[in-house]
Amino acid sequence: MALRLGTREFGEREPVIMAIVNRTPDSFYDQGATFTDEPALERVALAVAEGAAIIDIGGVKAGPGAEVSAEEEIRRTAAFVGEVRRRHPDVVISVDTWRHEVGEAVCAAGADMLNDAWGGVDPRLAEVAARHGVGLVCTHAGGAQPRTRPHRVGYEDVMADILRVTCGLAERAVDLGVRRDAIMIDPGHDFGKNTRHSLEATRRLPEMVTTGWPVLVSLSNKDFVGETLDRPVKERLIGTLATTAVSAWLGAQVYRVHEVAETRQVLEMVASIAGHRPPAVARRGLA
């Protein structure tokens, strides 16, 4: 099934890069580097130039921190969405939010999809997606509340729970009127999971792929990579790219990332090994 978002259509085997743009002063990775407008707009332009098809804009950091009201989240995201839409009319604009009020505001401003990273904790967000005709990411968060860290979380079978939740959210979204070809499912690495859960979710990605829903993975510099390799946030690129390559081989389609250019090379290499993409050039052994 092709994935249709905004004005773009992506084939079944076409890898899609979603670039992260944090509109927060306290993001875990860039510590607020794109909180103000001009650096954020520069980040968007660079990400698009490097090959990102989707820009994912977030107004609240995922982890614990200062309280951010819905009004403040809207202030950080909605006008920025409008400016990105004006400057980049063909890019797919996503907003990372769990709140329906924010969803309404950013869709009105020009967003093409809503990235619900907290597993439908606000059921009205899917209703907003249906009403505005935009895409939706359905994520497994293990029942965790927004901005909380997992604590002694356990599953009898983590992938069985991921499939139950994400496919259930996706089917509910279809029933509400969200287009089937605008829905993605996300295993939710780190969300409501410890490192072993996230590693298992990665190696069992084919079980998600066989559902027919496009699979989105958000792997970039996450804690499960850091714990697996015992590396701080700024030293997780190699682990992230290794996990990206494995995920691509196993069938994931959409990749939410900080480093666009590096991710693109990994995805192109995997696609060429798999036989889905020819080499960019062919010189050796031809003379």
For 5, half-sphere exposure in the C-beta direction (CA atoms, 13 angstrom radius) is: 29
Q: Are 167 and 143 in contact (CB under 8 A)?
A: no
Query: Of residues 76, 99, 204, 256, which has the active-site annotation?
Result: 256
Cα separation, 3 vs 22, whole angstroms? 25
Residue carrying the six token digits 């968007």: 44
Q: Are 181 and 213 in contact (CB under 8 A)?
A: no
85 included as an active-site residue: no
**Cα 245 to the center of its chain, rounded Å:** 16
149 included as an active-site residue: no
Query: Of residues 23, 61, 204, 222, which has the active-site annotation?
Result: 222
Q: Are 213 and 170 in contact (CB under 8 A)?
A: yes
Tell which residue, 81, 93, 86, has the closest CA to residue 18: 93
Strands 3-5 and 8-10: antiparallel
Residue carrying the six token digits 């069992």: 204
List the beta bridge partners of residue 255: 17, 217
DSSP 48-71: HHHT-SEEEEESS-SSS-S---HH
Which positions are catalytic?
Answer: 222, 256
